[in-house]
């Protein structure tokens, strides 16, 4: 079914943002605090989330404030347009 709609056969979890560092792959206002469970050398705040027993999800998420961001890179073997779906939970 994914091939019919040209869906990328995969999922990018929020905590798997790019590896190019501050200002390129992420921006957070407080760079003094480091993540405690994953990517511990970086200041993007990670937290455990309830996956409802779904083993296909990582059980981790990131918490960003106003004007903070993360960037992701997806490589494709063919040059064409893709549509992305972003799921966000606001607290």
Residue 49 sits in which domain range?
Answer: 13-75
Q: Is 66 part of any domain?
A: yes
Q: Is 83 part of any domain?
A: no
Q: Is 91 part of any domain?
A: no
pLDDT given at position 69: 96
Residues 32-67 pLDDT 10s: 999 888 899 999 998 887 766 666 666 788 889 999
In whole angstroms, what is the distance from residue 74 CA to residue 85 CA? 13
Q: Which of 17-21, 56-60, 72-76 has the lowest mean pLDDT?
A: 56-60
pTM for this structure? 0.74
Q: What total of structural domains would you count in the chain?
A: 1
Position 9 pLDDT exceeds 80: no
Position 71 pLDDT exceeds 90: yes
């Amino acid at each position: 079914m994914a091939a019919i709609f040209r869906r990328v056969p995969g999922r990018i979890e929020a905590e798997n943002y790019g590896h190019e560092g501050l200002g390129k792959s992420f921006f957070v206002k407080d760079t003094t605090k480091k993540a405690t469970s994953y990517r511990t050398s970086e200041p993007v705040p990670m937290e455990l989330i309830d996956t409802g027993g779904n083993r296909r999800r990582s059980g981790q998420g990131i918490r960003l404030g106003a004007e903070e961001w993360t960037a992701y890179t997806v490589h494709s073997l063919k040059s064409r347009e893709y549509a992305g779906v972003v799921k966000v939970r606001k607290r």
